[in-house]
Structure 1
Amino acid sequence: MLRVHRAGERYAGGDGDAGIHTRHAFSFSGHYDPANTGFGLLVACNEELLAPGAGFAEHPHRDLDIVTWVVEGELTHRDSTGRTSTVLPGDVQRLSAGSGVRHVERNDADAPLRFLQMWLVPGVFGVPPEYEIVRGISDGTPYALPRSESVLHTRRLVDGERSALPAAPWLYLHVVRGQLDVLPAEVALAGAAGAEPVRLADGDAARVTGGEELFAVARGGAECLIWEMHTEPTYG
């Protein structure tokens, strides 16, 4: 089963006067929809645009895996464990909050910063916080979260290029930029008739359940992030 959530359907947030513009894919902060609180282990997928000098003041998290993908610009990260990092396009940043951590995310550069921040429920709770950056992750290289049954895949496709999507109980595909079609495997591979492609563009997302075998085909080039998830949250 595939459900499409368009970019224009995201909840608007942030503080424009402070140079922060946010689009939420799920219920978040002042936006609550009981039918849209998460998908698989994913409970937030926020598109953030920060003006130069803007950012989020120090704030706490607990028992969350927070994964950040910079689209353009430079993100400055600081946290209560003493780490300071600059995250660049192509890097994957993971902050596993565990028993508790405080952090700051800012744009200290002179150009706008655009990034995605995704929150996932871990498989263990109350453990020490962890932090990691994978620099310049290669296209197609999977990044497995060590504390949950979830894997992040990146895809950068040229026009007409196709790529198989992971078959998983819960699959979340977010188009970072460009356009692509999502097709059943038999259509993409054999040109079989009977299924119209699902066209996705900048900021659109597809939520897929049931382990269906699908392909993504770029239209004019595309970059996307794909979460492969094998369980739902378990609390307590």
Structure 2
Amino acid sequence: MTTVRRAGERYSGGDLAAGIESLHAFSFGRHYDPDNVRFGALLACNEERLAPGAGFDEHPHSHTEIVTWVVEGELTHRDSAGHATVVRPGDVQRLSSAGGVRHVERNDANVPLVFVQMWLAPLEPGGEPSYEIVRGIADSTPYALQAGAMLHVRRPAAGERTAVPDGAFVYVHVVRGRIRLGEVELGPGDAARITDAEGLEMAAVDAAEVLLWEMAAR
């Protein structure tokens, strides 16, 4: 079964006066919908827009796998485990908050920053925090998490067809461009939630960038 959620259906959050605009695909903060809390292991898929100099001051996380994908600009990351990095388009950043970690996320550049941040529930709570950044991940290279989940980054050219991974739960998020999934066309910010995916394909209407989560049943 496939359920489509359009970009315009996301919950609006953030703090515009502070240069922060947030768009949430799932219940988040003051926006609560008991029928839209999670999908498989995925707890959040947030599009964040930060003006130059804006950002999120130090704040805590625990028992969450946090994966960040920069769309444009540069994200400065610092955490209480001593990591300090700049994340750029094409990089996959993972922060496993485990038993607890604090971090800062800022736009220290002089151009706007847009990134997609996804939170997933780990298979087991607790443990020690860990951090990883993969620079310039190649197209279709899977990235596995300790959450029974795997991220696939796809960048199909116009007219190109590509397989959707089979899985108990598959989440498709369009970053840019347009794709066709079955009879449905999806554009930037649109998402599809697929249960029991098997033998599906997507076709690029024009050049696209798509994040796909393949998640096991729990």
TM range (shorter): over 0.9
What is the CA–CA distance in structure 1 between the aligned matches of 2:34 and 2:199, rounded to whole Å? Answer: 29
Deviation at 1:211?
A: 2.5
Q: Describe the SS at the equivalent of 2:155.
A: strand
Instruction: Give the unaligned 5+ runs of structure 2.
Output: none
Question: What is the aligned partner in structure 1 of residue 43 from structure 2?
Answer: 43
Partner deviation per Cα, 1:148-185 (whole Å, 9 max, x = no partner): 210000000111001000010000000001100012xx
Q: Distance in 2 between matches of 1:9 and 1:205?
A: 10
- Specify every segment of 5 or more residues in structure 1 that has no aligned partner in the other structure, as ranges: 184-196
Q: Confirm whether residue 7 of structure 1 aligns to residue 7 of structure 2.
A: yes
Q: How far apart are 1:221 and its partner, in Å?
A: 1.1
Instruction: Determine the structure 2 residue equivalent to 1:216.
Output: 202
Return the offset for 1:231: 2.4
Superposition RMSD in Å:
0.6
Distance in structure 2 (CA, Å) of the matches to 1:132 and 1:80: 14
Aligned-partner residue type, residue 31 of structure 1: H
SS at match of 1:170: strand
Equivalent pairs counted in the alignment come to 218
Answering whether residue 134 of structure 2 is matched by residue 134 of structure 1, we say: yes
Alpha-carbon displacement from aligned partner over 1:105-131 (angstroms, at most 9, x marks no partner): 000000000000000000111100000
Structure 2 distance, partners of 1:62, 1:143, is 21
Q: What is the 5 A alignment of 1:1-236?
A: 1-145=1-145, 147-183=146-182, 197-232=183-218
Separation in 2 of the partners of 1:159 and 1:151?
25
TM-score of the two chains, using structure 1 as the length reference:
0.91
Q: Stretches of 4+ moved more than 3 A in 1?
A: none
For 2:71 and 2:84, how far apart are their aligned partners in 1? Answer: 20
- Give 1:186's aligned residue: none
